[in-house]
């Protein structure tokens, strides 16, 4: 199976500061080491999809700087179609400063740059990738208006749209009407719906909330507890794989990109695809860095066979 996936989203260069513990407010601490790697939610998701075998195209923007050239090269190295990545002459390439502690937990500060300055003109001429696409993915590190317009275009071609509402903030009501699958984590879900995630009942209520607003399918990532899914015909919890995490930076992005590579457009194989996606994510958190830690299809299949 080989899906065609289009990702509209953010492109960042990640700089990670490795620390023993997070600083207290007003406190200065020393970083043990520092490293840089390609990242951004959108770019991570595209790489995860591509490494799991999906034919992948990217819609986005970078600055006319060395970081932008570096990111275009990084995406092309994973055989991602970069023709629809614009160069912004006024804004720099997005970047993220990540603080990573000894337990593998992180804090992230993001500079939007070209990502946040993106306008709907980035969508000019994207019909050539949408007409063959199975899935279009977007997140909230780029403007919602651009995602809305892209999702509208995607619907003309029968593309299944996936919205990753991260970082979470208020969603344009019209965007939900064009969203087929929404994939928040539990805190994002609670922030968006006002329903605290405590048990299955609260998750089903959350699914009802989104369904009333036009979204048929809800996937809530629950960290070490797994993933809850709700479709119009079924719901359930797919457990997570237990591993020792060293860096959780791209865990959610790997999950979503890997999922899009395996999922049927009608979500008929959602259980199986979720197992695959969670296995991919479990491999990512055992390695350092965002994009460098994302596994390929063979590594995921091998890990599934060992489990």
Beta strands in 120-192 (DSSP E): 135-139, 160-164, 181-182
Predicted confidence (pLDDT) at residue 190 exceeds the cutoff of 70: yes
**What is the rounded CA–CA span in Å between residue 153 and residue 206?**
27
| Strand 135-139 with 55-63, pairing | unpaired
Confidence at 92, pLDDT banded by 50, 70, 90 = very high
**What is the rounded CA–CA span in Å between residue 281 and residue 248?**
9
**What is the rounded CA–CA span in Å between residue 34 and residue 100?**
10
**What is the rounded CA–CA span in Å between residue 49 and residue 53?**
7
| Strand 12-18 with 33-39, pairing | antiparallel
HSE-up (13 A, CA, CB side) for residue 291: 25
Predicted confidence (pLDDT) at residue 149 exceeds the cutoff of 80: yes
pLDDT at 249: 77
SS3 state of residue 180: coil
Mean model confidence pLDDT for the chain:
95
Feature table: binding site for substrate: 12-14, 40-44, 141, 253
Task: Answer yes or no: 253 catalytic.
Answer: yes
Instruction: Write out pLDDT tens, residues 30-67.
Output: 999 998 889 899 999 999 999 999 999 999 999 999 99
DSSP conformational letter for 233: S
Feature table: binding site for K(+): 247, 249, 284, 287, 289, 293
pTM of the model: 0.92
Predicted confidence (pLDDT) at residue 219 exceeds the cutoff of 80: yes
**What is the rounded CA–CA span in Å between residue 157 and residue 138?**
17
Q: For 126-131, what is the mean pLDDT?
A: 97
| Catalytic hit among 208, 253, 266, 298 | 253
pLDDT at 130: 98
Domains (range + CATH), the chain: 4-22+32-306 (3.40.1190.20)
Feature table: binding site: 12-14, 40-44, 141, 185, 221-226, 247, 249, 252-253, 284, 287, 289, 293
DSSP conformational letter for 283: H
Helix (H) or strand (E) holding 297: helix 297-306
Q: Phi first, then psi: what are they for 250, rounded to 5°?
A: -110, 20
**What is the rounded CA–CA span in Å between residue 72 and residue 68?**
6
Predicted confidence (pLDDT) at residue 276 exceeds the cutoff of 70: yes
CA distances from 86 to 51, 69, 144, 145, 165 (A): 23, 11, 17, 17, 23
pLDDT at 1: 59
């Amino acid at each position: 199976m080989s899906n065609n996936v289009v990702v509209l989203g953010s492109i960042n260069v990640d700089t990670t500061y490795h620390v023993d513990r997070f600083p207290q407010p007003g406190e200065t601490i020393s970083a043990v080491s520092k490293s840089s790697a390609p990242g951004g939610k959108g770019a991570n998701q595209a790489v995860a999809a591509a490494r799991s075998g999906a034919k992948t195209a990217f819609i986005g923007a970078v600055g006319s700087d060395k970081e932008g050239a570096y990111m275009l090269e990084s995406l092309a190295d994973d055989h991602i179609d970069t023709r629809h990545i614009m160069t912004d002459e006024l804004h720099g390439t997005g970047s993220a400063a990540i603080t990573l502690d000894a337990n593998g937990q992180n804090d992230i500060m993001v500079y939007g740059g070209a990502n946040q300055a993106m306008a709907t003109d980035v969508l000019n001429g994207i019909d050539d990738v949408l007409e063959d696409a199975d899935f279009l993915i977007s997140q909230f590190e780029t403007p919602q208006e651009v995602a809305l317009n892209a999702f509208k275009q995607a619907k003309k071609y029968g593309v299944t749209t996936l919205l990753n509402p991260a970082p979470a903030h208020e969603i344009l009501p019209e965007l939900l009407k064009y969203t087929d699958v929404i994939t928040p984590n539990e805190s994002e879900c609670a922030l968006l719906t006002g329903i605290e995630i405590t048990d299955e009942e609260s998750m089903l209520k959350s699914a009802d909330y989104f369904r009333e607003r036009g979204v048929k399918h809800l996937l809530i990532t629950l960290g070490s507890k797994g993933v809850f899914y709700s479709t119009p015909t079924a719901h359930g919890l797919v457990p997570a794989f237990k591993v020792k995490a060293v860096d959780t930076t791209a865990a959610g992005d790997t999950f979503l990109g890997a999922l899009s590579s395996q999922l049927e457009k009608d979500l008929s194989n959602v259980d199986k695809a979720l197992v695959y996606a969670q296995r991919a994510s479990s491999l990512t958190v055992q390695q350092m860095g965002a994009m460098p830690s994302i596994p390929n299809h063979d590594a995921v299949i091998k890990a599934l066979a060992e489990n």
